[in-house]
Amino acid sequence: MQSAPARDYSRAGRAARRIFSTIFLLIILGLGIFFYWKYFYTYSSGNRYGLLQKFSHKGNLFKTYEGEMILSSVRSNNNIALASEKFFFSVADEGVANKLMNLQGKEVTVHYKEKNGALFWRGETPYLVDSVVSVEQNNPN
């Protein structure tokens, strides 16, 4: 008579293991979806035009390319920016970084992708510049 309760315990044990493994897999799947959404999903993309003020290669353990552009919104008659906003961005591609390194002090248009979060090996900002669309030469008039 002892063998019947042992079977019940083994069935209950298998059912409990199946429930726990299903919950564990759902948690892992949920974490994977969250990680993808937070760090790899492109929230928005577009172009920004402005004066490339600063571009550097920095970091302690992971060196990343970081840039800063001044986006002018209101200009005076003498083409002087009266109101401006700064656009901070990161660059993951070394070829694009080399182009931007040579364009400091010039007005450029860059294409960016905005992520929901920044990964420390990819840059400090959620804005990742992936190409320089056009370069406008400063014309002294």
Residue whose C-alpha is closest to residue 90's, from 60, 61, 49, 59: 59
Q: What is the distance, to the nearest Å, from the Cα of residue 107 to the centroid of all Cα atoms in its chain?
A: 23
Is the whole-model pTM more than 0.85?
Answer: no
Q: What is the pLDDT along the chain (141 residues), one digit of tens a residue?
A: 455 555 566 888 888 899 999 999 999 999 999 999 999 999 999 999 999 999 999 988 899 999 999 987 666 666 666 667 899 999 999 999 999 998 988 899 999 999 998 888 888 999 999 999 767 654 444
Report phi then psi at 33, rounded to 5.
-65, -45
Cα pseudo-dihedral 86, 88, 89, 95, rounded to 10? 70
**Look-up of token digits 């660059």:** 91
The helix or strand, by DSSP H or E, that contains position 83, with its residue range, turns out to be: strand 81-91
Are the CB atoms for 66 and 55 separated by under 8 Å? yes
Which pLDDT score, from 0 to 100, does residue 9 have? 66
- Contact, 117 vs 38, CB < 8 A? yes
